[in-house]
Amino acid sequence: MIIVIDGPAGSGKSSTAKELANRLNLKFLDSGALYRALTYKWLEAGKPEKQLFFKNLPSVNLKASSDGDQFSVEIGGEDVTGFIRTGRVSEHVSEIATAKQARSYVNSVMRDMVKHDTFIADGRDLGTAVFPDADLKFYMDASIEERASRRFEEMKSKQNDVSYSEVLENVKMRDHTDQNRKADPLRKAEDAIRIDTTGKTFEEQVDEMSAIIKSKLTI
């Protein structure tokens, strides 16, 4: 069984999915972490020509594991979970994540993961492209200012040189890129339930979605 949460950057998808995984005894699947891991690998390799990098994706050996709300990513046997949330990776992730080859590769990794057990996943095109037959779909959103503020609070605890204005511009860029990419652009699936989190507390949005899941699915 797979429950998906799509939405733009900073809408609260990951934190909400993690809490729902805890509350409802689900496994968490962080699709964004997989793209960030590929971006980190590309940057660490010195930003090689992208077509060559994409051609060699099968040899990257990207693997992920889930233990409740904990999601870990490995590349070539190295755990890179702690290195993929930096500003440097955030600045370049759209360069990798918008590529058809990268999306196809990551989609195959995710589909393999959910063949067994019950997962809740967050991303941007899960309900439209990766898991169109998902058991339940949500689309989370919030004002761009609120989304940037959330992302800023998350990032500043890991790096001191980041500013709100930089994060806001990054979120705007991500929105434009995600909504206009040729491969699986960000959009709400017709059968997804929209959750607007603007002005809501974290507890309120989790309670709302938890109630919906319990009312619609047997888990």
Domain spans, the chain: 2-207
Cα dihedral angle (184, 63, 115, 194), rounded to 10 degrees? -40
78-79 and 119-123 beta bridge pairing: unpaired
* Per-residue model confidence (pLDDT) at position 27: 92
> Whose CA is closest to 113, among 124, 126, 102?
126
Q: Is the pLDDT of residue 119 over 90?
A: yes
**9-47 pLDDT, tens digit each:** 888 888 899 999 999 999 999 988 999 999 999 999 999
Rounded distance between C-alpha atoms, residue 22 and residue 9, angstroms: 22
Residue 103 structure tokens: 């999306």
Architecture of the domain made up of 2-207: 3-Layer(aba) Sandwich (3.40)
**Apex 215 CA angle, 210 and 216, nearest 5:** 100
Rounded distance between C-alpha atoms, residue 116 and residue 79, angstroms: 23
Contacts of 19 (CB under 8 A, 6+ apart): 69, 202, 206
For the whole model, what pTM was predicted? 0.78
119-123 and 27-30 beta bridge pairing: parallel
Out of 77-81, 131-135, 171-175, 202-206, pick the least confident: 171-175
> Whose CA is closest to 18, among 164, 210, 197?
210
**41-89 pLDDT, tens digit each:** 999 999 999 999 999 998 999 999 988 778 999 998 999 999 998 889 9
pLDDT band at 219 (very low <50, low <70, confident <90, very high): low
Question: Is pLDDT larger for residue 48 or for residue 199?
Answer: 48
The string of DSSP codes covering 13-70 is HHHHHHHHHHHHT-EEEEHHHHHHHHHHHHHHTT---HHHHHHTGGGG-EEEEEETTE
